Structure 1
C-alpha cells in the first residue's frame, strides 16, 4: 500500500538505444500509478542549477525512473505535459527501505 493515494497515471518512455547513425530511438513505455500535483515551483535540479517545474510526481517505492526518460502526464482537462525529469529523489523510511520516489518535471 502506498504512502499517498495514487489515483493518476503517468507514462514513462525509457531512453532507447543509439543506432549506427547516432540517433537515439524511443525505448519501452511504462505506465505507472502516481500522485501528480500541478504546481509551479523553483527547485535545484540535478545539474545544480535552479529550474522551474510544473509537476510534482509521487511514485510508490523505488520507481524505475532516470534522467534520460521522458514522462508524459495528461490531466483531467486533457492538457498533456511531456518532459524529462529535473530532479529525482527516493524517500526512505527508518528501516532504509524506499517508501516513495519524488520526481519534479
Structure 2
C-alpha cells in the first residue's frame, strides 16, 4: 500500500458573507501522501492553471472545489490552496480507494 506519512487539513466552504467570500467550517485533519510538483492542468471549467501538489488521501472523503486545503512541506513552509481538480480512484469492483486532490 501507499504510505500516508503526511497530513493535510481541510476546511469545508460554508455560506457566503456579504462580500461573496465563503466562511469555512472546522478543520479536519487527514493522513495523506503529498507529491509536490509544478505542472499545468486544465480545470473542470476548461481554464488552465498551475498545480503545485497532488494530494492522495485514503478512502472517499468529502471535499469540494471551494474548500480550503492546508499543509506544510518538508521545509516547514505552510501552503493554503483551494482544489483545482478532485478525482476518486477506485478498484476494479468500484470501491473508492483514494481521493486525489490537485492544488
Is TM more than 0.5 here? yes
Over the residues paired in the alignment, what is the CA RMSD in angstroms? 1.5
Name the residue aligned to 2:6: 8
Name the residue aligned to 2:69: 71
How many residues are matched?
Answer: 102
Unpaired segments ≥5 residues, structure 1: none
- Following TM superposition, by how much is the alpha carbon of 1:22 offset from its aligned partner in structure 2, in angstroms? 5.9
- Following TM superposition, by how much is the alpha carbon of 1:99 offset from its aligned partner in structure 2, in angstroms? 1.1
Name the residue aligned to 1:17: 15
Q: TM-score, normalised by structure 2?
A: 0.90
Match of 1:60 among 58, 61, 72: 58
- Following TM superposition, by how much is the alpha carbon of 1:76 offset from its aligned partner in structure 2, in angstroms? 2.1
Q: TM-score, normalised by structure 1?
A: 0.88
Q: Deviations over 1:28-78 (max 9, x none)?
A: 211011100110011111111221100110010111111110000111211
- Following TM superposition, by how much is the alpha carbon of 1:89 offset from its aligned partner in structure 2, in angstroms? 0.5
- 1:51 corresponds to 2:49: yes
The 2-side partners of 1:25 and 1:41 are apart by 29
